[in-house]
Amino acid sequence: MIEEQGRVVAVERDFVWVETIRQSSCSSCSARTGCGQHLSEKYRTGSSFSYIKAISPWVVKEGDMVMVGIPEESLLKASFLIYLFPLLLMMAGIWLSSVMGAADWLLLLSAGLLLVLGFGAVRLLGKRSADMCRVDVVRVLPSENFHLSDGSSGQKLSFGQN
């Protein structure tokens, strides 16, 4: 499970919005002194916060510190779908066009069309499989002013389970 700490900024019926600090891995990299990415992160003027929609089985309120997580296998599946699928489709089109003996301009055209088709398919599949990258609140972190709406501290909701 890949986890990130954040602060609840909004509570809705079935989910919460969690604000996390956007971090890069530059601080732990040994090549950061000679890397352009480190410099761009260092002088970035944009917001350093990310907002994540997470499903929460816990009773939380705005301002609570929580740990959100996503399973590694979900992230790997989504990465394959987003990055590798369109490229594989494009390469299959290039191979098929070259086996058929198509001209170079037709090979290039088919590669571009299949790449665009692959990205379109990813967009459609992404809308239908929103649970693939579902972010959950893993646990509520203790804080000094940690009081839940029912007066308890860190009690998990039981949705009809005993």
- 120-139 average pLDDT score: 78
- pLDDT tens-digit readout, 17-58: 998 876 655 555 666 566 666 556 666 655 577 888 888 888
Question: 126 lies in which domain range?
Answer: 2-24+44-140
Q: Is residue 91 part of a domain?
A: yes
Please count the structural domains in the chain: 1
- How many Å apart are CA 17 and CA 127, to the nearest integer? 20
pLDDT value of residue 115: 93
142 Cβ neighbours under 8 A, 6+ residues apart = 65, 153, 154
Q: Determine if the pTM surpasses 0.85.
A: no
Measured from the Cβ of residue 13, the count of other Cβ atoms closer than 10 Å reads 4
Q: Is residue 118 part of a domain?
A: yes
Which tokens go with 123?
């967009």
